Amino acid sequence: MRIVLLGPPGSGKGTQAALLKERLDVPHISTGELLRAAVRDQTSLGMKAKAAMDAGELVSDELVLGLIEERMGAADVQSGYLLDGYPRNLSQARALDDVLGRLDLPVEKALALTVDEEQIVTRLARRAEEEGRSDDTEEVVRNRLAVYREQTAPVAGYYADKRLLVEVDGMGSIEEINQRLMAALS
């Protein structure tokens, strides 16, 4: 299966991606994780990306596209993929179609997790305590949510126009949500 997973920060997207990866046996490709690894390793890309990440802004399309092109070209992606955190705006969605078209690995389904904002703020506050992510302070979280609303939410419409979008209720237990996602794929 070739899947794009959409959902606001704090929607439980990362948790569900980890479960889906096991159940579907496809690589989980998270641009957030790729970027955090680059920051940790202090690569030149990581140093360029850090300020935007710490502010809850998007890293430039160009930098992230480079990461994605490299990752999608790897052999394991032939068996399918679960893309998480990409595309995050319409121009990334179009660029992704170009890349995947060249590789002959087009998206088959876009799954969008829907959650209410109150729940998101609670979840992210908890994660801030547990993981100490530097982009989980309240102000930055607010900014990430605003960026999502303005730039990423339209990506769902992009996939809806292509008849690839399935919206899935992201409220409930981890297992419940996972079952809804699996049902949406079958």
Written as six digits, the tokens of 68 are: 């994605």
Choose the stretch contacting ligand ADP; rule: CB under 6 A; options: 56-64, 72-80, 101-109, 111-119.
Answer: 56-64
> Applying CB under 6 A, does 64 fall inside the site for ligand ADP?
yes
Question: How far is CA 165 from each of CA 11, 44, 110, 182, rounded to the nearest angstrom?
Answer: 17, 35, 5, 14
**Nearer to ligand ADP (CB atom), residue 16 or residue 31:** 31
Q: Nearer Cβ to ligand ADP, position 92 or 178?
A: 92
Helix (H) or strand (E) holding 82: strand 81-84
Residue 73 near residue 128 (C-beta atoms within 8 A): no
Binding residues for ligand ADP restricted to 104-133, rule: CB under 6 A: none
Closest CA to 117 of 153, 87, 93: 153
Q: Which of 144, 155, 158, 178 binds ligand ADP (CB under 6 A)?
A: 144
50 binds ligand ADP (CB under 6 A): no
Task: Quote the least distance from Cβ 49 to ligand ADP, whole Å.
Answer: 7
**Count of residues that bind ligand ADP according to CB under 6 A:** 17
Q: Is 32 in the site for ligand ADP (CB under 6 A)?
A: yes
Nearest alpha-carbon partner for 81 in 28, 14, 142, 151: 28
How far apart CA 35 and CA 164 sit, in angstroms, is 27
Q: Which of 53, 83, 155, 181 binds ligand ADP (CB under 6 A)?
A: 53
Neighbours of 83 (CB within 10 A): 26
Residues that bind ligand ADP (CB under 6 A): 9, 31-32, 35, 52-53, 56-59, 64, 85-86, 88, 92, 135, 144
